[in-house]
Amino acid sequence: MKLPKNLFFLLLLSVKALSQTVPSLPKIIPPSPTVQNFMRYGEIPVDYSTGVPNISIPIYTLEGKKLNVPISISYHASGIKVNDIASEVGLGWVLNAGGLVSRTVFSQPDGTGAPRTFSYANQLINKATTDAHFLDRSCCCFRGIINVEDYLVQSGKFENEDTMSDRFFYKLPDGTSGVFRKGFFSDSIITLPYKPYKIETQNGIQLDSIKITDNNGTIYKFNRMSNTSPDAMEWYLTEMQSGDGTETISFQYRTNEGEYTMGTRSQVFGSRLPITISCNPPSSEPFLSLGSSAVTYHPPVLEKIVSSTAIVSFSYASREDFNMLRLSEISISPASAPTQVIKRVRFTPKYFGSTNADKRLGLDYIIISDNSGTTSSKYSFVYESQTLPPYSWKIQSDIRYNEDYWGYYNGSNSYSSIPADFISNASDRGYYGSNREANLSLSRACMLREIQYPTGGRTVFEFERPYSPSLYEYKNAGGYFGPFRVASITNYSAGNEIAEVKSFEYQNARWRLIRPHYFKYDQVYHDIVFPHGQYSNDCFADYTRELVFSSSTLPLEVAPGMQVMYRTVIEFNGTKTNNTGKTVYEYQEPYAPWSYDNNPIHPAQWEQDRFYHPFHYDRGNYVPQMLDKTNFRYNGKAYIPLSKEEYKYNVLFSRELHTGFKLTRPQIFTDPAKYFVFDCYLDIIGTPSAIVNQYIESIVAIDTKAYQEASVLSNSKNYTFDPLDSTKYVLANTDYTYDQNHLQIKEKTTFSSKGDTLKTINKYPSDFPADPVAVALRNRNQLTPVLEEELYKGSGFLQKTKVRYDNWGNNIIEPKEVQVQKAAGPLETLVNYLSYDKKGNVGSLKKAGGVPVTYLWGYQNILPVAKVENAKLIKSDGAAAYQSFYFVDFMNANQRYFLNGVYSTIKAGSTTIMRQYLKGDDHSAWFYVYIYDAGHNLITSYSDYMSQSQTSLTVSSQMTLAGGSYTVEISSSNPSNKLYTHEVGIIMEGPAGDPATLPVYTSFEEDEVATDAVYFKTGRKSHFGDYTISLPPCPADENKYVLSYWIKLNAGSAWKLVTQAITVPAYPSSIVIGTSGSYIDELRVYPESALMTTFTYDPLVGITSEIDPRNRITTYEYDSLQRLKIIRDYDNKILKSYDYHLKP
């Protein structure tokens, strides 16, 4: 029977005064629904143990040399709950394209300055115990108790204190997620479970930003973008940076124009009183108390992801269910041409429901196309037809509740959300209770059922909810429970024929039964109806109310956010009755953070759910740990084992962190100021002890804790069975040991069936505390590089590999040398790394017994464009041209003297020519300076006069010189034409040249000017006009090079390969090739004894050409969806072709 609407609201009004005396569940402020969609993946991971399949559609992966961001949409198939709010993609879907940090607030937000009177539970208990004995005869009252009650209840002070640290959730772009907590007494941060990450918060209590550094040294910066209140609740990833700072990917957001308010409603039923005395307390009738809260969210949306090579843009449109935005399009463009779209993904919405209150955004289909839209792929989605009821907080009147115990739709359509079964008085159940049991059919509402693929194939999912015949043990009844799990996945070909079937069976489920004490308890009240002074005797009323809650006092979960977990899962290759084999998975037990039964330190006298917090003993989110996996084939009669994997785990350490405490009041004093008084004229000796003890018993406070644990794989066994005799097998048994700080494998020992033992010992930067380079790696949290590896067979040493890192400047720490020692031999160098560029790319290296190999990098220094064997890398930094000429000797009058040295400049520009002269004071003199070019053509001359009394003179002039080499000659004259000693210095300083390197390679793909995209030999561009090649100085013994390039003299001529030998001078120089109307491509300069292989790319697609040392070109062609289509050889003949058919 449903509660009549008018009676319902009358009851709410009648019990308004009881609000302070009705206990509530712990105060928890959740993150926004947008974030909760992501958190679901951390709480209920995609895994066999949860029954959640991997349903995702890749969009694009933004790849750099050290960083990458995979972009996809994914669907979490655990079911759609009544209060779920669709993401910007659609109900059940999320956009995976970045990262975030969120927090769940317990009590008051950390860092907001909320007061904290007590740090530990025993401090509060001791305070209450001490003060309870304080009697004040001036008021004839227990002043201490009244003061404590005022602090705890009446004044609201305790409610506004921060009694428990918050819980933070993070998600990184690669899908890694986890939990961290801040210390209750400090800003120290621990990850749950342990990960060797550095997490830093900035700007103090405001928490404007959070920085996470993973164990590879990659830095993730999160900034505060959206507030659900004045206190920060969410931080969004704004930047990724490689550990050496050479690569960065940035994330830009758009402020959501709208906002939305999400409300929560909870109810408490209080039973009628079972007592009848002359002074019955008021409100002895049953009551239904409604608690509600609403939070307004302003979630931002991701607008752009920008790397050095690509820009991924996200476009949005308005949506009909909430005043927010929906994703309408994703486009990918080169960073060098932001308006050139190479790939476009359009999202077409649908809506479940038809009214403002019940409408929910869904995803109908997506179309992936090229820029022109001529080629496209369409993914369509089919859902269950059953819709969901209205959001209760969107309704102002006639509020109905339709949720089962786990949050899914059950169609109860009741004014109450109190489980009727748990109301003891049968006559109250129809008015105050509701049916909270699961309805399998209705709970499927809006779930994904089918994906239709571009090629015509499709995948059909069958989902089910677990069933237990003893779910409701209190009434010996069964029912469905928990989230959905996949029962079967059927793939169909384009011809609608079954291509593949996977079926699943679940055993050894872990869940919480539905038991009355999870939802209700007896609350003791101490009331005084007629206080002392009104009648000769006080009328005390000590009574108990049965309180029944709409939500369980502790979550119906076996791990944070996870309501069901399966320890055994069987995957059939076919149906359960018609298959070719199966795989059986076994898992470790989950852990619930509220479970005081599993925590031996909990106070034995307080064993009731209501005394504990949902995260009382927090160990982080559930991480599946597979115990074994066995593959079977079916021979028509029995299952025959083919292989088996067994795993064991070990907890390296467990650290306890105090996170606060939880206060519960099993006894409530409705009016302490009236209750805790005594007759000052009566003998009260002995009386206070009963009252004091009664009061002390009314306070239950228990410390909350977090446990940072490092659980690692300690042993694995791999069995391979004889297909003819399953009692025979080959076994590989492996033990693992770890470093407790960085969790990398220190030792790996494998025992074979033949009795052989192979041991590997690894050493990492932390193993070399005296090595400054290793220390630098640790300081950047680059903990994973293996610096030494030793191999043993039995007790015999096999091999050692040692990687020696060096600091190459510019924050680049990379390998310098790889050494190998075999058996009893010496430690020998295998590879020497000779140089790195400013982005940390290998410039050149030399293998033992081999020739040096040089690599040239392009496309923002991300991709290798040339490999030159038998070549060293020679660089000049493009410093200003400079040369000093000096002469100190006797000078005959009017005789020319050649000054040793050459002034070279690559660039034309203003050159300063400074002349410095020194002579004796016994004569006057004229000095003459002559500047010649490389062909000994006189460019300019200067004449400078010094009187007899002058002994020094400095004169400067400037002139414009063309790029090239210049020499200087001098002469002098004097009146007597005698021989005198003179000192002459000439300094020439010109413009800075361009940095230059050898070898040289360019196919002009990155040039923005003087290029042509119509005529090209390799890649997608050529150079139009003449071209100047800048060369660095080269030693005389290494100056023989080959210059080669393809040239097209004009648009109508054919491409021609030009190859010529050149000698590179010992000073900066340049070479000009081509003419004003020519096209040039595939330019190379390399040592005459070297072999050069070059590559061109479309950076967002792949390699476009490969040119071997003989200048033979292999080309790679792609379709409009950037998939490799054809490979052609140097004669344009097809070597390979590819045709794509999407498999469901």
Note the pLDDT tens digit of each residue in 661-706.
Answer: 999 999 999 888 888 887 676 544 445 678 888 899 999 999 999 9
User: What pLDDT shows up at residue 593?
Assistant: 76
On the question of pLDDT at 896 being above 60, the answer is: yes
On the question of pLDDT at 1002 being above 80, the answer is: yes
Across 603-626, average pLDDT: 88
- How many percent of the chain have pLDDT more than 90? 64
User: What pLDDT shows up at residue 24?
Assistant: 56
Residue range(s) of every CATH 2.60.120.660 domain in the chain: 883-989
| Torsion over CA: 760, 716, 733, 737 (sign) | positive
In terms of average pLDDT, the best of 427-431, 568-572, 721-725 is: 568-572
Q: What is the pTM of this model?
A: 0.87
In terms of average pLDDT, the best of 3-12, 285-294, 330-339 is: 330-339
Query: Where does residue 909 rank: exposed (0-12), middle (13-18), buried (19+ CB within 10 A)?
Result: middle
Q: Which of 1029, 1033, 970 lies closest to 1001, judged by CA?
A: 1029
Task: Give the 3-state secondary structure of residue 259.
Answer: coil
User: What pLDDT shows up at residue 1143?
Assistant: 59
Q: CA 1047 to CA 1055: how far, in whole Å?
A: 6
Query: Where does residue 922 rank: exposed (0-12), middle (13-18), buried (19+ CB within 10 A)?
Result: exposed
Q: What does the buried/exposed string (b/e) look like for 413-445 if buried means 16 or more CB atoms within 10 Å of the residue's CB?
A: ebbbbbbbbbbeeeebbebbbbbbbbbeebbbb
Q: Are 169 and 39 in contact (CB under 8 A)?
A: yes
Q: CA 695 to CA 132: how far, in whole Å?
A: 7
On the question of pLDDT at 244 being above 70, the answer is: yes
Q: How far is CA 991 from CA 274, 880, 907, 940, 1068, in A?
A: 101, 5, 7, 18, 12
Q: Give the CATH fold of the 883-989 domain.
A: Jelly Rolls (2.60.120)
Across 484-497, average pLDDT: 92
Q: How many CB atoms lie within 10 A of CB 20?
A: 10
Query: Where does residue 386 rank: exposed (0-12), middle (13-18), buried (19+ CB within 10 A)?
Result: middle
Q: How many CB atoms lie within 10 A of CB 143?
A: 16
Q: CA 109 to CA 229: how far, in whole Å?
A: 10
Question: Residue 720 — φ and ψ, nearest 5°?
Answer: -120, 115
Question: CA 222, 228, 234: angle at the middle one, nearest 5?
Answer: 15
Average pLDDT, the chain: 88
Give the architecture (CATH level 2) of 997-1137.
Answer: Sandwich (2.60)
> Using one digit for the tens of pLDDT, what is the confidence trace for 21-34?
556 555 555 555 56
Task: Give the 3-state secondary structure of residue 767.
Answer: helix
Q: CA 674 to CA 154: how far, in whole Å?
A: 13
Q: CA 74 to CA 95: how far, in whole Å?
A: 7
Q: CA 158 to CA 118: how far, in whole Å?
A: 10
On the question of pLDDT at 231 being above 60, the answer is: no
Q: Are 148 and 138 in contact (CB under 8 A)?
A: no
Q: Are 184 and 178 in contact (CB under 8 A)?
A: no
Question: Residue 275 — φ and ψ, nearest 5°?
Answer: -110, 150
Across 380-402, average pLDDT: 90
User: What pLDDT shows up at residue 105?
Assistant: 86
On the question of pLDDT at 122 being above 90, the answer is: yes
Q: How many CB atoms lie within 10 A of CB 251?
A: 23
User: What pLDDT shows up at residue 318?
Assistant: 94
Question: CA 661, 663, 664: angle at the middle one, nearest 5?
Answer: 145
For residues 190, 196, 201 and 202, what is the CA-based torsion angle, rounded to 10 degrees? 150
Across 388-397, average pLDDT: 86
Task: Give the 3-state secondary structure of residue 420.
Answer: helix
Cis peptide before 614 (omega within 30 of 0): no
Task: Give the 3-state secondary structure of residue 882.
Answer: strand
Q: Please give the structure tokens belonging to residue 285.
A: 């009738």
Residue located via tokens 């010496």:
826
**CA-based radius of gyration for the chain:** 40
Residues in Cβ contact with 89 at an 8 Å cutoff, skipping those fewer than 6 apart: 73, 95, 326, 327, 347, 363
On the question of pLDDT at 18 being above 50, the answer is: no
Question: Residue 124 — φ and ψ, nearest 5°?
Answer: -65, -45
Label residue 42 by pLDDT band (50, 70, 90).
low
Query: Where does residue 1040 rank: exposed (0-12), middle (13-18), buried (19+ CB within 10 A)?
Result: middle
Q: Which of 1001, 1048, 1043 lies closest to 1022, judged by CA?
A: 1048
Q: CA 1085 to CA 1079: how far, in whole Å?
A: 18
On the question of pLDDT at 123 being above 90, the answer is: yes
Across 269-295, average pLDDT: 67
On the question of pLDDT at 13 being above 60, the answer is: no
Label residue 265 by pLDDT band (50, 70, 90).
confident
Residue located via tokens 């794989």:
713
Helix (H) or strand (E) holding 815: strand 813-822
Q: How many CB atoms lie within 10 A of CB 1099?
A: 21
Lowest mean pLDDT among 257-266, 315-324, 1107-1116: 257-266
Higher pLDDT, 903 or 568: 568
Task: Give the 3-state secondary structure of residue 76.
Answer: coil
3-state secondary structure 6-68: HHHHHHHHHCHHHHHHCCCCCCEECCCHHHHHHHHHHHCCCECCCCECCEEEEEEEEECCCCE
Higher pLDDT, 259 or 280: 259
Q: Which of 517, 706, 712, 709 lies closest to 593, judged by CA?
A: 706
On the question of pLDDT at 636 being above 80, the answer is: yes
Q: Which of 388, 494, 486 lies closest to 445, judged by CA?
A: 388
User: What pLDDT shows up at residue 789?
Assistant: 97
Q: Are 112 and 165 in contact (CB under 8 A)?
A: no
Q: Are 470 and 446 in contact (CB under 8 A)?
A: no
On the question of pLDDT at 1084 being above 80, the answer is: yes
> Using one digit for the tens of pLDDT, what is the confidence trace for 569-611?
999 999 999 999 999 999 999 988 777 776 777 787 788 899 9
Across 499-518, average pLDDT: 95
Q: How many CB atoms lie within 10 A of CB 686?
A: 7
On the question of pLDDT at 1038 being above 80, the answer is: yes
User: What pLDDT shows up at residue 203?
Assistant: 67
Please name the amino acid found at residue 968: V
Q: Are 883 and 971 in contact (CB under 8 A)?
A: no
On the question of pLDDT at 883 being above 90, the answer is: no
Q: Which of 812, 815, 848 lies closest to 831, judged by CA?
A: 848
Q: Please give the structure tokens belonging to residue 580.
A: 């070719």
Would you say how long the chain is, in residues? Answer: 1144
> Using one digit for the tens of pLDDT, what is the confidence trace for 769-819?
999 999 999 999 999 999 999 999 999 999 999 999 999 999 999 999 999
User: Helices 687-696 and 121-131 meet at what angle, rounded to 10?
Assistant: 160
Question: Residue 1036 — φ and ψ, nearest 5°?
Answer: -65, -30
User: What pLDDT shows up at residue 605?
Assistant: 79
On the question of pLDDT at 281 being above 60, the answer is: no
On the question of pLDDT at 344 being above 50, the answer is: yes
Q: Please give the structure tokens belonging to residue 471.
A: 């779910």
3-state secondary structure 259-298: CEEEEEEEEEEECCCCCCCCCCCCCCCCEEEEEEEEEEEC
Q: CA 798 to CA 1046: how far, in whole Å?
A: 52
